Structure 1
Amino acid sequence: MKFVHNLVFLLISLVSYAHEGPSDVAKKAKSLKVMTYNIHHCNPPSAGSKIDVEAIARVITAEKPDLVALQEVDVNTERSGKGLNQAKELARLTGMNFFFSKAIDHQGGDYGVAVLSRFPILDSTRFILPIDPTIGGETRTIAAITVEPTKGKRMIFASTHLDLKEPNRLTQSELIIRHFGATDLPVILAGDFNAQTDSKVIQLFDQTFVRSCQSCAPTIPVKNPNRAIDFVMVKQGGSLKSTSTRVVDEQYASDHLPVVVELKLN
């Protein structure tokens, strides 16, 4: 009798599975919440020279992202405090892991980009983006980590901050595309691109990556924002697809508005 009962249960389960539609499968798909945030070295523009790491941490914690790309991060600089590693402190305050990528020396310390991750960081890479010596510019870098949000599903998450000069941005974009185009892993690229959606730079990225938004809400300045230059994008052909993009109306902590993106992992 027990065998018959188990057989009936198995048949019912198989019938239920057979009638499961595409929408049910979609509900089972893993999702990720990603944020990109230019944090202005944790200096609220309206607060003089004050450094307020806690304000940035509150913005991040309120959104509960899985992965965060940070730009304009200070480590042991005079303006932010010689003993303050902002990436490390933000990781502590948000309960996340971190990786910092130095771009330049600044006031006795380091300045660059970073990533935060709720997942263990399996690998991390820093690489320098090119600057044309004939026109000059500030050295920029990539902070890239490998994580495994779902067992057996590894991916790369990278933060960057492109140069102010378009010729440099184009060269930097070409290098980024070549670098991440060589991997078979899904790639999430996020940051301050210093370029608007109709620029040559973003059009170049659009050939290899898919932005989370096409008509993107402006991210700068924080009051009456009028242009979008902060983006999250995923490499084409991967298992990631954006389902929503939102610009957070947070006008105190930084001079950029943070962008929050929901991604579906197939």
Structure 2
Amino acid sequence: MRKLLTVLVGFLMVVPTVAAAQPDTGRPGRPLTVMTYNIHHGAGIDGVLDLERIAALIETSGADVIGLQEVDRHWDVRSNWVDQPAWFAKRLKMHYAYAANLDLPPVKPGDPRRQYGTAILSKYPIKDFANTLLPLYPTGEQRGLAVANITVRGAKLRFTNTHLTSNNNAERLEQAQKVVELLSGSSTPTVLVGDLNATPAAPEIKTLTAAYDDTWAEIGDGPGYTIEAGNPTKRIDFQLHGAGLRPVRATVPVTPASDHLPVVATFVLS
């Protein structure tokens, strides 16, 4: 009996030690708020060019990482020749990367090149960035997939931003297929945002949602229409995500600052 008690006491002393020695694989989730917004080069439905009201909207949203489409850089008089991504980064005190899908020589020799494309703004440093041009048909406008790798409080995030073509379904489908191809093979938690110029039932969107979850379909309230801003009737602006990101909230703020409405979503990043 005394030997049995000795064994039991020894077992009880060992069990907590073994349990404590097991690695703690659970990591606390990191809240992450994301915005996607086609800013129409800063011109609102009232015809007024006003970057400040877009910046104020971003501030109010609390977004940590933002994907912007239709962003001018020294483009022309419509945007007062402003370097818009640099302006937003300075105004919001954020890091930024710019993808020039159109890149033209200046009007006057010695001036900056005229560029138009997409931008990524981030409260966190952008570790690396690349833009890959997407399939282009003869009558189309060059589009691209911008990819930024960002570390969010110790967790890796791959943030991607695109603007698919507006006037050719076949071209847009090829672009969507290329996006899936380019993003495949990575285990890094991925967010794909952008103006996809198609509604959820379109083949090109189904191509993307076969690989990534549609955040609005998961947790959005209502139709989530984003265009036209004054009387929206279609959802063509999306936030898609992969594993490692759990959406908890999604909204479409109402604003006259562009012809599109933005989409804001909050995730837990693990």
Shift of 1:162: 0.2
Q: Distance in 2 between matches of 1:102 and 1:203?
A: 27
Match of 1:249 among 225, 232, 254: 254
Equivalent in the alignment of 2:38: 38
Match of 1:169 among 169, 172, 179: 172
Match of 1:265 among 249, 255, 269: 269
How much identity, in percent, do the aligned residues show?
32
Q: Point out where structure 2 has 5 or more consecutive residues left out of the alignment.
A: 1-15, 21-25, 107-113
Equivalent in the alignment of 1:55: 53
Contact 1:219–1:227 (Cα < 8 Å) also in 2 = yes
Q: Distance in 2 between matches of 1:88 and 1:139?
A: 22
One-letter identity of the residue aligned with 2:180? I
Q: Distance in 2 between matches of 1:188 and 1:216?
A: 21
Q: Distance in 1 between matches of 2:64 and 2:268?
A: 13
Match of 1:213 among 211, 216, 219: 216
Q: Distance in 2 between matches of 1:65 and 1:187?
A: 16
One-letter identity of the residue aligned with 1:163? T
How many residues end up aligned between the 2 structures? 234
Aligned to 1:171, the other structure's residue is in SS state helix
Q: What aligned pairs does 1:100-111 form with structure 2 within 5 A after superposition?
A: 100-105=98-103, 108=106, 109-111=114-116
TM-score by length of 2: 0.82
Equivalent in the alignment of 2:240: 233
Shift of 1:45: 2.7
Q: Distance in 2 between matches of 1:91 and 1:142?
A: 20
Shift of 1:107: 8.7
TM-score by length of 1: 0.83
Larger radius of gyration: 2
Equivalent in the alignment of 1:127: 132
Q: Point out where structure 1 has 5 or more consecutive residues left out of the alignment.
A: 1-13, 19-24
- Closer, same or farther in 2 for the Cα pair 1:257/1:192, shift >3 Å? same
Matched, 1:141 2:144: yes
Q: Distance in 2 between matches of 1:115 and 1:223?
A: 25
Q: CA RMSD in A?
A: 1.9
